[in-house]
Amino acid sequence: MELTAAQRAQYERDGFLIFPNLFSQAEVAVLRQEVARLTDIRADEVVREHTGGVKSLFRVHEGDGPTASAPFRALVRTPRLLRPVQQVLSGDAYVYHTKINAKPAIEGTPWMWHQDYNSWSKDGCPTSNMATFNVMLNDTSEFSGGLYILPGSHKLGLLESVQDTSTSYKLWSIPKQKMIEVLRASPPPVPVVGRAGTGVLFHCNVLHASGHNLSAEDRWHIYVSCNAVANKPILGENPRPDWVVSRNWYPLPIEDDGAVTKAA
Ligand code: SIN
Ligand code: MN
């Protein structure tokens, strides 16, 4: 799938693009079945809430490791997902990490306002030539803890961040007073909602957050975070593990667009 000139201009302006119903319900069904299988795995790649439920499932895109999944490996290589990533990163890309985030019905907790590059700059990635492709694995509303994106906020550049420890995953987030200031000076955040299969591509400096899941259904999203091959991290002394900062920086090849359902 090739982004049009208008879509590329929109990405430049807003820092994100939404693709309603990009993946079919049949593809989503295959991926959801995989999520059900993966949630039983006990490994470092499966980050759990203090209560034991899954918060994030990492590294589902590779052919090896405890959380390997053929359908998710196929998903990241589809032209629908990978070609727009290559376009916005202006060349070869690789997967920095994949994570499937859960938000259980009634209990699923927020993700604080942050820029993904708050963390990735600390991993040693030299520039912000990075982006994430989010695919909704169930219908998502504001009420079920969908993302909010602050349009145009990637143009603020990298903001100072502090580590939020209020949830089970330590996240570099924007300090409260700074975020209040930014929100007051910005257009309203956009709630990113849609049917299962909807895709969202966003710049690593765009401010985003998500709220509580107050609905009756679990919310499942996959985040395929990508880096330009030319921007691989200069790793420091204690780099984060490979499942969150991939060392596989070979250019990801575009493969069969129909491979997700074939991998079932
Ligand atoms: C993220 O921004 O990394 C996750 C947000 C979410 O799952 O709602
Ligand atoms: Mn994020």
Query: Radius of gyration of the chain from Cα atoms?
Result: 17
Query: What pLDDT does residue 31 have?
Result: 98
Instruction: Please answer whether residues 179 and 161 qualify as being in contact, where contact means their C-beta atoms are separated by less than 8 angstroms.
Output: no
Neighbours of 100 (CB within 10 A): 26
Task: Please give the distance, rounded to the nearest whole angstrom, from the Cα atom of residue 145 to the centre of ligand 1.
Answer: 10
Interior/surface letters 156-186, b for 16+ CB within 10 angstroms, e for the rest: beebebeebeeeeeebbbbeeeebeebbeee
Domain extent listing, the chain: 5-228
pLDDT at residue number 50: 81
Find the 14 Cα to ligand 2 centroid distance in Å. Answer: 16
| Helix H or strand E encompassing 61 | none
CB 165 within 8 A of CB 227: no
The residue to mutate among 54, 111, 117, 170, having the most atoms of ligand 1 within 8 angstroms of its beta carbon, is: 111
Ligand 1 centre to CA of 122 (Å) is 18
As residues whose CB is below 5 A from the ion ligand 2, the structure lists: 116
The predicted pLDDT at position 52 comes to 82
Q: CA–CA separation, 152 vs 173, rounded Å?
A: 18
pLDDT of residue 167: 67
Q: Which ligand is nearest to the CA of 108?
A: 1
> Which CATH architecture group holds 5-228?
Sandwich (2.60)
Which ligand is located closest to the Cα atom of residue 110?
A: 1
Q: What is the pLDDT along the chain (264 residues), one digit of tens a residue?
A: 899 999 999 999 999 999 999 999 999 999 999 999 999 999 999 999 888 889 999 999 999 999 999 999 999 999 999 999 999 999 999 999 999 999 999 999 899 999 999 999 999 999 999 999 999 999 999 999 999 999 999 999 999 999 987 765 678 999 999 999 999 999 999 999 999 999 999 999 999 999 999 999 999 999 999 999 999 999 999 999 999 999 999 999 999 999 999 999
